[in-house]
Structures are given as structure tokens and as C-alpha cells.
Structure 1
């Protein structure tokens, strides 16, 4: 059974303006209002509740060097998210985590590493591969989550409770960055597979999925950041960039990736940029269609 878990964290994002609060933390409830939970329930999914995050603070003036934004709250949320995911997986269910921003991948990684590690498929309009070794601008884990997940960030983020790296780099796949992504070359050197958006569109979902399975194996975690979509399709995200997939292309890709996933997370919809809810309804349609067979090829297996 699919278990839908809300993780409305915005802790990994930069503030939209000094003293402001990012809107991504409102995404799970916006998707609920758009009917996503009811539509999943009709397919015998269950509501697994919510893991609330601590209060977002614009700490730029007070944060010490070598720390990320909202670090203490982010680490605490990661531990509580990992605990809840462990209970879901122990029950034999397949988790679908609705964020929030993609810093929730840290908590997901903690949970899976404690179980023996899984592969990772990171579908995102950016590589999110900024880390202290390639940038002196590290602060927002939502732009650094993939690097943290494979052990390249400060230990407070990438080695919580001694469990890092949460995913082994050679079993990690990234799909969907644009051609001007500054960290793409390094990601391609260190990860098992990196596929830019342009290539994913050209070769198609069948070939992409075949390459993914060869690297990540079965039972990988599927992380979907919605800025994989072109901003003409979905502008209501934190960092929209041209050159992304359209809705049908993303659905087709997810349809082929979802069955071999032990679970999935969907992140970065910003309801503050979606006042009439049209994009929440679009995301609901994409998630329901693309992830309908989530976990079916690994049902009953342990990560």
C-alpha cells in the first residue's frame, strides 16, 4: 500500500526576501486542497500523517561560518522524518513523501542508510551538487541535497548519526539539469549516471529508465523536484529555468521509474506563486498518473 506522508519543510531554502519565509512548506496542504489525497485514497492509499518542521528563520546575519540555514531545525526534522519513514517501511508500505523543499532528502537518506542503503534517482532541474568543496556559498540545503546525500557536505548535514554517505555515489543517478548547470561536470564524474534534461527528452523515457536500472538497481529512492518541468508548464517553483520537460514527458518518465522505487518524494511546489491553485491541480494530475505504480516491482522487498 502507498502511504502518503506530508513533510512541509521549507528549511533548506533561501528567504524570498530579507526576513521573508519561503512558501514551499505549504505545498502538501495545497495538494490536499487540490484533491490529491482523496484521489489516492480511492486507490487504497493511506494518509500517513505529517512530520512538521521547526520554524523557518532568516538567520543570515547570525549564522556561524560552516553552517547551513536553519541547521539545527533541519537536522531535527531529518531525524523525525527518518523515524516516520522507518515505521512506514517496516509496515511493508511504500512511502510517498510530499514536501516541502528537497532538503527532505537528508531525512530520507538517514532512514534508508540505517536499513542498509538504497540507490537514488534524483529527478531535478538542477544537480543540487553545490558543496563546501566546490563553493564558498553553501547555505541552502535545497540547492545542495544531492551532494549531501552522497557524503560531500559538512558532516552535520551529510553524516547525521554516523550514517553517511546516505547513498553510495556509484548507485546515484541525476536526471534533468539544464546545460548551464555549474556543478554538472563534477556530478557526472562522481555519480553513477547524469542525464541532462535535453538528453532525457531526446532519448526518451524508455532508454532513460533502462540506463537508470543498470546503475541504481531495484529498490532505489525516487526524488522528484518539480523544477524539472519547464517554467512555461510550472512557474510556481523556487528556481524556474527554461529547457525543462513538459507534463506529458515527466509523466512518461515517472511511469517507467516508479515501479522499481522503494518510495518517492515530490518537492518544491510554491503555493505562494499559485494563488488560484491551478498548478497544484496540475501537480496532482502528474503525481497521480506518473506514480500510480510506485513500488510495484519491489513490493515486499526491503531497501
Structure 2
């Protein structure tokens, strides 16, 4: 059974303006208002509760070198989210986390390491692979989560409780970046599957999903991390870093539907209700999640 967890964190995002607060933390309730919870519960989904983050602080100009913004709060939230995910997984249910920002990948990674392992399928319009080895500008974990997840960020982000790497690089796949992403070639050298958005558009999501399922270490299950900026801004402008060349909603639905049955859980991130005053894009996200993740974990729970 799917258990829906709200994780309204914005801790890993840069402020929209100096001293401002990102709106992604409002996403779970905006999706509830758009009818997502009603759709999921009509199919038997459970309420997995809320894991609240600490207070967002814009500490640019005051943060020590080498540290990310809201570092201690991100670690605390990751530990508490991991605890909730482990409880759900051990009860035989399948967590669906509504974020919030991409720092949720760290909590999912901690949970993976302590509850039976598994791989990562990272769906994002960007590789999110900035880290101290390739950039002097680290600071926002929402653009660095994949690097943290496979052990390449600072120890504070990549080695919480000595559990690095949260996901083994050889059990990690990325789908959805644009060809011009500055870190795509570095990522290709480290993980077995990197599928840019153009490939999904040309060949369909089923082919990308088949590659995932055929890869050693991923065939036994994985966590799906979905950043909705994998969609083209024509369809989803309500994100902090829109980038042209992304998927259409039906293409994302097809990709998710092919991946979802073999996942042990998923997170949906980075939708920003502050950029969607009429609620139009919340309804788009709700429809994609309800259809694309309807069979989340189904093959695993049957086994």
C-alpha cells in the first residue's frame, strides 16, 4: 500500500531574493488542494504523516567556506525522514514523499542504507552534480543532491552517521538532464545510466526504464527521485530553475509508469506554489503523480 508522506522542506534551495524564503515548502499542501491526496486515498493510499523541517535561514555572506546553507537543519531533517521511511518500509508499505526540495534524496539514501539497500533512479532536468571537487560554489543541496547521494559531497552531506555512499554509484541512474548540463560527462564516467531528456522524447520512457531494469544492482529495486523541472517550462514553469528542452507531462507519466512498479518508494520535489498563484500547475503535478505513480511498488509488494 502507498503511504503518502509530506516533507515540506525548502532547506536545500537558494533564496529567491536576498533574505527571502523559497516556496517549495508549500508544495505538499498545494498538491492536497489540487486533489492529489483524494485521488490517492480513493485507491487505498495511507496517510504517512508529515516530517517537518527546521527553519530556513538565508546565511549567504555569513556561512563558513565549504558548508551548505541550512546544513545542520538538512542533516536533522534527513535523519527524521529516514526514520519515517524505514518504519513504512518495514511495515510492508511503499512511501511516496511529497516535497519540498531535492535534499530529500539524502533522507531516502539513509533509509536505503539501513533497510535493505537498493538503487537510485534520479529524474531531474539537471544532473544536480555540483560538489566540492568540481565547483567552488557549493551551497544549495537541491543542486548537489545526486553528488551527495553517491558520496562525492562534503562529509557533512555525504557521510551522515558513517553511511556513505547512500547509493552505490554502480546502482544509480539519472534521466532527464539537458545535453548542455555542465556535469553530464563527469556523471557518465561514474554511473552506468545517464539518459538526457532528448533521448526520452525521441525513444520513449519505456526504453529508458528497460535499461534501468536490465542494469545489475538496479533490477532488485530502487528509489525514484523526481524533480518536476524534468518537465519543459512550457508545461511546468513553477520551479526555481526552469530549463528548456524537457519532457511533456505525458512523457513523464509514461516514464514513471514504467519505473514505478519495481521501486520501493519515491519522492516528488521542487514544485513551487509561489510561482503558481492560480493553482494550474499544481493540478498538472497532481495528475502526473496520480497516474504515473499509481502502481508504485506494486511488483515488489506482490513479491
TM over 0.5: yes
- 1:15 aligns with 15
In structure 2, distance between residues paired with 1:66 and 1:245: 34
Q: Is 1:195 aligned to residue 184 of structure 2? A: no
- 1:152 aligns with 152
Indicate conservation of the 8 Å contact 2:200/2:251, yes or no: no
- 1:126 aligns with 126
Q: Is 1:55 aligned to residue 58 of structure 2? A: no
- 1:286 aligns with 288
| Structure 2 portions without partners, runs of 5+ | none
Question: Deviation above 6 Å: which 4+ runs of structure 1?
Answer: none
Indicate conservation of the 8 Å contact 1:127/1:146, yes or no: yes
**Root-mean-square deviation (Å):** 0.9
**How far is 1:219 from its partner?**
1.5
CA deviation string 1:71-122 (max 9, x = no partner): 0001000000011111111111000000000111101101111124211100
| Structure 1 portions without partners, runs of 5+ | none
**How far is 1:39 from its partner?**
1.1
Give the TM-score normalised by the residue count of structure 2.
0.98
In structure 1, distance between residues paired with 2:158 and 2:200: 28
CA deviation string 1:17-41 (max 9, x = no partner): 1100000000000001111111111
Indicate conservation of the 8 Å contact 1:170/1:191, yes or no: yes
In structure 1, distance between residues paired with 2:229 and 2:220: 25
Indicate conservation of the 8 Å contact 2:52/2:77, yes or no: yes
Indicate conservation of the 8 Å contact 1:171/1:217, yes or no: no
Give the TM-score normalised by the residue count of structure 1.
0.98
In structure 1, distance between residues paired with 2:220 and 2:58: 40
- 1:250 aligns with 252
In structure 1, distance between residues paired with 2:205 and 2:90: 31
- 1:105 aligns with 105
Alignment of 1:139-218 (within 5 A): 139-215=139-215, 216-218=218-220
Q: Is 1:80 aligned to residue 80 of structure 2? A: yes
